[in-house]
Amino acid sequence: MSSCKLSFSKPLLSSLFLMSCLMALASAGNFYQDFDITWGDHRAQILNGGQLLTLTLDKSSGSGFRSKNEYLFGRIDMQIKLVPGNSAGTVTAYYLSSQGPTHDEIDFEFLGNLSGDPYTLHTNVFSQGKGNREQQFHLWFDPTKAFHTYSIVWNKQRIIFLVDNIPIRVFNNLESSAGVPFPKSQPMRIYSSLWNADDWATRGGLVKTDWTQAPFTASYRNFKANACVWSAGKSGCDTKNSAGFEDATWQDQGLDAAGRNRLRWVQQKFMVYNYCADLKRFPQGLPLECKSSRFL
Ligand SMILES: *[C@@H]1O[C@H](CO)[C@@H](O)[C@H](O)[C@H]1NC(C)=O
């Protein structure tokens, strides 16, 4: 909030400024302030005075939470430590989503695995209710040993998925050039849940959840949203310029040469599924956005 500490000579102006800062910013978070536990009762817990959140899954239920705020554009960071050991059959979903049949959605889903076998990071983008844009990755580290940062940069030009600040996927706004709908007008909440999906998640459902290992636990910390909070039908960013942000680089963030190199590295070495390369699935031709750029 340091950039909100501007001084104004008139107290009225300064309090108006502060109000718009508070509306537009939800920075370094406290889970009590920023999130509601939405299901799973005691299986979801906020700990350490709001600095840590844990979700658990046992045989009778999973658990989940969602942000109190809705956002329309921003950069959202969360550190997550995934279910360790034999996590086969479990899915930890972490995503942004709006509501309704033509909703937009930006997904990270972590598919568990047997001890020693790699997690799969599944990603997708929905716009106007339509997804089918899956890309999946293995990671270059063990996501259960420590917290790692998973980020979504969402601006008017593109969506960038980042892992420890390394871009793994970019979804460009090709609305005007190719007519591909882009999430740009529906505010989204942040959601996360831990649940059992052993009918499909691990090796396509072949490996079942080992309930003797339950409860399964995923942990969250250091939530940060440099984002435009939606309130009363308006974006907090309409009322102020980028000076109100702690860090406004996300607003026109793209990939520079170094970013493109890292994206290429991830896509060459760690991508295990790409809908844009799945010709069998799209016999009528690949989705339009697949043709328009190498880096999707
Ligand atoms: C689990 O490990 C197997 C074997 O390495 C791998 O093929 C698979 O992609 C991994 N992930 C999931 C979610 O099944």
254-266 pLDDT per residue, tens: 999 999 999 999 9
Residue 166: what pLDDT?
A: 98
Q: Name residues contacting ligand 1 (CB within 6 A).
A: 111, 113, 117-118, 120, 201-203
Tens-digit pLDDT profile for residues 148-160: 999 999 999 999 9
Band of residue 236 on the pLDDT scale cut at 50, 70, 90 = confident
Among 65-74, 209-218, 268-277, 287-296, whose mean pLDDT is lowest? 287-296
Q: Examine the residue annotation and report whether 109 is marked as an active-site residue of this protein.
A: yes
Predicted confidence at residue 292, as pLDDT, reads 63
Query: In the chain, what are the domains?
Result: 31-230+248-290 (2.60.120.200)
Reply yes or no on whether the pLDDT at 293 is more than 60: no
Nearest residue (by CA) to ligand 1, atom 7, is 203
- Alpha carbon nearest to ligand 1 atom 13, residue: 202
Look at residue 209 in the predicted model and tell me its pLDDT: 97
The count of C-alpha atoms lying within 13 angstroms of the C-alpha of 274, restricted to the half-sphere facing its C-beta, is: 18
64 pLDDT higher than 50: yes
Which mutation among 120, 134, 138 tests ligand 1's pocket best, with the greatest number of atoms within 8 A of CB? 120
Nearest CA to ligand 1 atom 10: 118
Sheet of 105-111: strands edge to edge? 35-39, 63-67, 189-196, 90-97, 105-111, 120-126, 135-137, 271-274
The CA distance from 117 to 111, in Å, is 11
Instruction: State whether residue 258 is helix, strand or coil.
Output: helix
- Non-local CB neighbours of 195 within 8 Å, separated by 6+ positions: 57, 62, 64, 90, 91, 93
Ligand 1, atom 4, lies closest to the CA of 117
pLDDT at 241: 55
- Ligand 1 centroid – CA 197 distance (Å): 14
The more confident residue out of 159 and 243 is 159
User: What ligand 1 atom has the least distance to the C-alpha of 207?
Assistant: 14
Confidence label for 8 from pLDDT (cuts 50, 70 and 90): very low
- Active-site residue identified among 105, 134, 246, 289: 105
Separation CA 194–CA 216 (nearest Å): 9
In this prediction, residue 238 has a pLDDT band, given cuts at 50, 70 and 90, of confident
Q: Please list, in sequence order, all residues whose beta carbon lies within 8 angstroms of the beta carbon of residue 67, skipping any fewer than 6 positions away.
A: 34, 35, 36, 189, 190, 191, 225
Assess whether pLDDT exceeds 60 at residue 5. Answer: no
Does 246 participate in catalysis according to the annotation?
Answer: no
- The Cα 120–Cα 167 span in angstroms is 16
- Residue 7: per-residue pLDDT: 38
- CA 65 / ligand 1 centre spacing (Å): 27
Token representation of residue 122:
């599944």
